[in-house]
Structure 1
């Protein structure tokens, strides 16, 4: 069973802490086994400025965890607690995957884990992170960054995105999507998506591409082009590309390719379809094209992915 330890300090805000607890600390029967979850920190710690955390494990136990999650700290303006920094560094040296949510990145940076790496934090604190830790390659424009054994996220809802990304990496797309449905959150947002949408492309409560993205996502098997998307959105191709970069952090065709690979992940996990049929159902055209893009984006061929994440379970169908 994969162990996940949440590293809490006095004054840790509630939001990111609660997100990690919801994802890793509640077994919804989606995968067997789920995570062995623990909260570690000083026994006098209060979270949210008023709630006693009821911590049963000290920071010295972080080194025994497979994954260590560091949520926000009380204030990015102040140095993080030295005992927390030392414990996180020791956990990484012991082989743990270390994850920061929001300003937890300041703990990882103080521990030296971000030196020479791309990293992010809440957009309001990216300048301070870069100033205080010049060896960190701070990217202020993304939701989260996966750098192997060290992962960082922006603030608030982006922390949930990174937690779901971890579940996807550990248990596959089908489990992560089922968990997202249970939590009533978007099943997958790319780490490279912009942290916030400029007012110029906002439209009511939803961004200007909301309907288009849903429309395209339901037609991935079709040979969609940028002009096709532009006509559907009633805008020029140039204007569409500008909006795509602002909203998703990428181009229309690259977004389509990513969605097709995600759809292929789900089909590999949940159906008996051949690679050739999955290539057709995802708009990839040929098995060779699917294999090439799948391996480039995920680092493994489709067949290896299927062996890793497809489990014999009731309800397996041909889609």
Structure 2
């Protein structure tokens, strides 16, 4: 199994959360999942020794930023201050790493470092929505998309704020090692196994204050019967309520309508089948209740941001043979 090198670039006063994410995903060897651990994780700093990070924590580092150029993947966490010019040594080291062939990743406002290095020119990128306008004004060559969780542009990837950095790191694991391994790791971290990069940074519909637990059996039944052409009337009959009452209770419990919820479950199931099986698209369309291959392509592409065939090529299960459940 190939061991991939991941280098985290630190400077003083970077936020601790974005530093912790790659340390937890790549730097903590979980040998019960894979032995040997598939990542060789290194922390690099402008001044090796003791680097002060957010909330007064101190990180011990032995590698300088020049080591970034030898890594397969370079991760730049959120920067200390988006309003200041980024450290020239860091900017130069990130640029040199990319020129040497590294995959360069930014978490949250780390995008300002990548932009200063010229890596985002002519590319689509994202950042925390709070800083999107500033990034676009300061670097007009960058196509800033503030409405997504992360952007994968091949050798340069950017994420939105805070928790979206975890989504992007798990996305990298999926790219490297397949959906099976990434799902096991996500389960260990107690987070959703996959949130599409095209998902909005925030949901306008507020979450319900109290979930109607009486709907739980219905939701489970619906998930088990996604291959059937379910309607609101079907769901209402099974719940022994009127369609109007079902819609009201459903929205209170899930924050959305029954049909939108069903569509999201169908797309989720399609993702699972694309990742873990070789079933043709026409068969997957039937198994998920999306009907036709054309209908599958339409709804899947709209929800996930890529066509089913592209998704399968990217996220087909390539779990290491040493992986254990």
CA distance 1:9–1:244, change in 2 (3 Å): farther
Change (3 A) 1:313 1:180: closer
The CA deviation at 1:16 is 0.9
In structure 2, the partner of 1:143 is 149
Structure 1 residue 263 corresponds to structure 2 residue 233: no
Within 1, Cα distance between the matches of 2:41 and 2:131?
29
Q: 1:21 to 1:230 in 2, by over 3 A?
A: farther
Count, aligned residues? 297
Residue 254 of structure 1 deviates from its aligned partner by: 6.8
TM-score, length-scaled by structure 1: 0.77
Counterpart mapping for 1:184-195 below 5 A? 184-195=190-201
1:156 shift after superposition? 1.0
SS at match of 1:69: strand
Match of 1:10 in 2: 12
Describe how 1:91-102 pairs up with structure 2 within 5 A.
91-102=97-108
Matched, 1:296 2:307: yes
Preserved CA contact (<8 Å) 2:276 2:316: no
Q: Tell me how far apart the structure 2 counterparts of residues 304 and 201 of structure 1 sit (CA, whole Å).
A: 31
Cα distance in 2 for partners of 1:64, 1:254 equals: 44
User: Closer, same or farther in 2 for the Cα pair 1:303/1:103, shift >3 Å?
Assistant: closer
| CA RMSD in angstroms, aligned pairs only | 3.9
Aligned with 1:203 (options 208, 228, 231): 208
Give the stretch that moved more between structures: 67-76 or 29-38. Answer: 29-38
SS class of match (2:307): helix
Instruction: Report which structure shows greater RCO (CA 8 Å, sep ≥6).
Output: 2
Q: Quick one: distance in 2 between partners of 1:304 and 1:203?
A: 33
Distance change (3 Å), C-alpha of 1:289 and 1:314: farther
User: Secondary structure at 1:235's aligned position in 2?
Assistant: helix
Secondary structure at the residue paired with 2:82? coil
8 A contact 1:226–1:253 mirrored in 2: no
Pair 1:305 & 2:321 matched? no
1:131 partner SS: helix
Computing the radius of gyration from Cα coordinates, the structure with the larger value is: 2
What SS does structure 1 have at the residue aligned with 2:63?
A: coil
- TM-score with structure 2 length normalisation? 0.76
Residue 187 of structure 1 and its aligned partner are, at CA, apart by: 1.5
Report 1:91-170 matches (<5 A): 91-170=97-176
Residues in 2 aligned to 1:180 and 1:278: alpha-carbon distance in whole angstroms:
28
* Structure 1 unaligned blocks of 5 or more: 246-250
- Which consecutive unaligned segments of at least 5 residues does structure 2 have? 240-244
Once the two structures are TM-superposed, the CA of residue 201 in structure 1 deviates from its matched residue by 3.2
